[in-house]
Amino acid sequence: MSVIPFLQDNLTALAKIGSPVVKWIESHAVSPEVVAGRLHRNSKGNLDYAPEQGPSLYGAMPPGMVYRGWAPADDGRLAAGATIIIGSGLGYGINTVLTNTPNTHKVLVVEPWPELLTACLGLTDYRPFINAKKLIFLPPDKAAFETALKTLDVCFLFGRIHLRADMACKQHGPQYAQWTEHVRARLENTSVELSTLRQKQDVMVGNELKNYHQAMLDGSLLGLRGMARGVAAVIMGAGPSLARFAPELSRRRGHALYTTALQTLPALEGMGFKPDLCMAIDFRPEMRTSIDRLKDRSFAADIPLIYSTKMDPDVLALYPGPKLPMWTVGGIATYVLANQELVMDGGGNVAVALCRFLIACGVGSILLVGQDFSWSGDTTHVSGHHASATRHAYDPKRHMALKNSHGETIYTNVGYMAAKRDMEKSLGEGHIPVYNLYGGGVPISSAENVTLEQAHRSGALASAPGSLEWFRNALERSRTPRVRPIFSARAPKWSTSLKNVTGRIEKLFKNPGKNAVEIRVMFERVRYFLRQDPLYMPYLYNEIMDMAGLCHARATYGIKDMVEFRRIRKRVLEKVREMDQVLCSSREWRAA
């Protein structure tokens, strides 16, 4: 009888769903016979694994102690939650989570050691959990993990995600600790992104609808793609170190393209430094503070503003200079205008958005200035920035104490570190030289720390002859108004479809206990219906996620769920009519 009897059955089930872990195991040519030979009962009577080198998995600590506390508590969010496990072990921990969570609770397992994963898959029949899409095995591949992470929206919004690191596995290599830190960082980032999206999506896309007509008149960034080849670009942040570097750069400006955030303009005005362009992505009405803080608004009269179309239109109207719209991922242009506009992933930090924009334009290099992502005194921003007046005392519950490259203590927070990681990722994908005029902040792994003298010597402030002028001319041309596409109205058909499906669901709710499966199927169909229109889907994000909650975050159904569905349907139709009024109110050229 085989020691690992379930290996082939589990691999077959994983192959049927296209799991990347199957090819990963095959690529390592793992011998099942060798794996089986390393399984044994240890002196404490526990099934154990003895690798070719090093201690056995459970020789020092029995499974009961290793996995004590792994079963997540049922706090009302368990059904909609997930557990991510780093290190499969022999399945003790996985099985503890599987048997103590409902079927809707997702379990993701990342195992960097192919032999150990082979042993795990051979010891337990995981087919019911794999087929139910409850259990997902992943290879140690960041792209595969990102794909899986995108399926956990409901878990982030309606449940809780638990991270479990297998202590028994960690003794067999640093990759377990590395993966634990990577996953923890991605969970922090994604939580911030989805929380912002959930709370603010209606406002952001609502602003896009209000800005739609004006944005078409303001021009398009599409023509700027690849037009900055040879340009040495500078991104000026609002960290405390900007106060030291901006005056020095004023005296030795070089021949570079200077970019910054709208929020940083008042600080640069106070230092007498005028950038070539600025960018704004914040949708909040409080952004008007950045314009109000300018001592003389004429300072910005010749500084082009690249603005997210999700900005508050009242704030946008206050800006005195030329304006160019930037359509961003998550808005109405995401799918429909993807081939007609430069649709950017703006992220949650304007410096990151500037970085992505400049790379899309094809700049030859980037120099970071004032990108500290930290502070050492009691202020987080340079004087003149609207946040500089707030005094910060170190709070270990909200802040982190780190050492900078000089060995000095600095302070940061989760938001700063999330933005720094996003910037590092974007800079790394740009495949261009990146320099950091280092001012004592958190080191940026994708950038080389330099002094101003080194920046000049490296060419970080020297654009190729004619390249800067070429880009400026392209920037001016991009302000030409574009043809506004007009779309067909959706409200009449949507109203009829949702009315019909509501009637069927109401009949099922006469006996929700008996009809739970059919109710879930109908809710899933409605969710699919709301997702099928790429133009209207971004504005319906919250309603789509609420439908996902009805589908996947409920163990049973009651009359309150029918009330919730009616509320969702009402909001959907109100939004569709609003979008029809903006996007379909013309007899001009019809797009779709």
pLDDT tops 70 at residue 589:
no
Same domain, 313 and 393: yes
Looking up tokens 């290599």, which residue turns up? 173
Is 75 in a helix, a strand, or coil?
coil
When divided into structural domains, the chain yields a total of 3
Place 387 in a pLDDT band, splitting at 50, 70 and 90.
Answer: low
What pLDDT score was predicted for residue 354?
A: 97
Place 586 in a pLDDT band, splitting at 50, 70 and 90.
Answer: low
Q: For the beta carbon of residue 19, count every other beta carbon within 10 angstroms.
A: 20
Residue 1 included in any domain: no
Of 442, 477, 512, the domain-final residue? 477
Chain segment 524-563, per-residue pLDDT in tens: 999 999 999 999 999 999 999 999 999 888 878 999 999 9
What pLDDT score was predicted for residue 389?
A: 62
What pLDDT score was predicted for residue 390?
A: 67
Residue 187 included in any domain: no
More confident residue, 375 or 67: 67
pLDDT tops 80 at residue 197:
no
Chain segment 428-440, per-residue pLDDT in tens: 999 999 999 998 8
Same domain, 500 and 411: no
Same domain, 78 and 210: no
Residue 36 included in any domain: yes
pTM score, two decimals?
0.74
Same domain, 361 and 385: yes
Chain segment 307-355, per-residue pLDDT in tens: 999 999 999 999 999 999 999 998 999 888 888 899 999 878 999 999 9
Residue 224 included in any domain: yes
d(CA 135, CA 153): 16
Same domain, 275 and 363: yes
Of 156, 173, 190, the domain-final residue? 173
Chain segment 510-525, per-residue pLDDT in tens: 999 999 999 999 999 9
Residue 486 included in any domain: no
pLDDT tops 90 at residue 566:
yes
Same domain, 261 and 408: yes
Q: Which is it for the CA torsion 190, 196, 202, 208, positive or negative?
A: negative
Same domain, 274 and 391: yes
Same domain, 168 and 214: no
Distances (CA, A) of 363 to 261, 351, 424: 18, 15, 17
- Average pLDDT of the chain to the nearest whole number: 92
% the chain with pLDDT above 90: 75
Same domain, 220 and 366: yes
Chain segment 399-430, per-residue pLDDT in tens: 888 888 888 888 888 888 888 999 999 999 99
Cβ 366 vs Cβ 427: under 8 Å: yes
d(CA 396, CA 463): 44
Q: Which domain holds residue 254?
A: 202-477
Place 587 in a pLDDT band, splitting at 50, 70 and 90.
Answer: very low
Same domain, 42 and 149: yes
Of 430, 451, 477, the domain-final residue? 477
Residue 157 included in any domain: yes
Cβ 389 vs Cβ 399: under 8 Å: no
Residue 188 included in any domain: no
pLDDT tops 90 at residue 577:
yes
d(CA 570, CA 502): 11
Same domain, 347 and 465: yes
Same domain, 312 and 207: yes
